């Protein structure tokens, strides 16, 4: 199990990519161990994102955050469309982005964007202009991540 993985204790934040809604339901009860739930931004069918809004709210109330990454949206139009669709759905369920983290997800330096560019992307994702700064402003800390696909 992830909690007993020797590498997991070396990191400040633990991000997990659930494979289905049953795993997400299990993770919702593990808010004291994991911190971030991420997903494949370009996936066309993320069942828990489109049918389990109560489960997502439960995860947020347990202190978990959901991550939206924008790097895939910068690559081609079909990926951009799917990233925008999934991000809008997540922002809709979370009532404007409560418990949502915006990250680059960049594998190459060219995919990184300035903070205000990322804030503008959050508006394209369905966030309100007056809330866009909350995704990139505030106290910034550097953390090491341990991501494991379940």
Domain 2-149 of CATH type 3.20.20.210: no
List pLDDT tens digits, range 7-24. 767 777 888 898 888 888
What six digits make up the tokens of 139?
């106290």
List pLDDT tens digits, range 46-72. 888 888 788 999 998 888 989 999 999
Task: Provide the residue ranges of all domains of the chain, joining segments of one domain with +.
Answer: 2-149
Q: How far apart are CA 80 and CA 50, in angstroms?
A: 18
- Chain centroid to CA 68: 4
pTM score, whole prediction: 0.83
């Amino acid at each position: 199990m992830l909690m007993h993985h020797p590498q997991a204790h070396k990191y400040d934040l633990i991000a997990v990519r659930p494979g289905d809604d049953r795993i997400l339901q299990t993770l919702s009860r593990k808010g004291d161990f994991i911190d971030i739930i991420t997903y494949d931004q370009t996936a066309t069918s993320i069942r828990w994102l489109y049918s389990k809004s109560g489960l997502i709210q439960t995860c947020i109330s347990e202190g978990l955050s959901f991550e939206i990454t924008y790097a895939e949206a910068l690559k081609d139009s079909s990926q951009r469309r799917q990233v925008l669709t999934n991000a809008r759905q997540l922002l809709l369920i979370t009532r404007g982005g409560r418990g949502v983290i915006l990250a680059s997800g960049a594998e190459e330096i060219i995919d990184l964007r300035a903070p205000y560019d990322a804030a503008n992307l959050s508006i394209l994702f369905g966030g309100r202009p007056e809330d866009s700064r909350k995704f990139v402003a505030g106290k910034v800390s550097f953390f090491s991540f341990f991501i494991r696909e379940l």
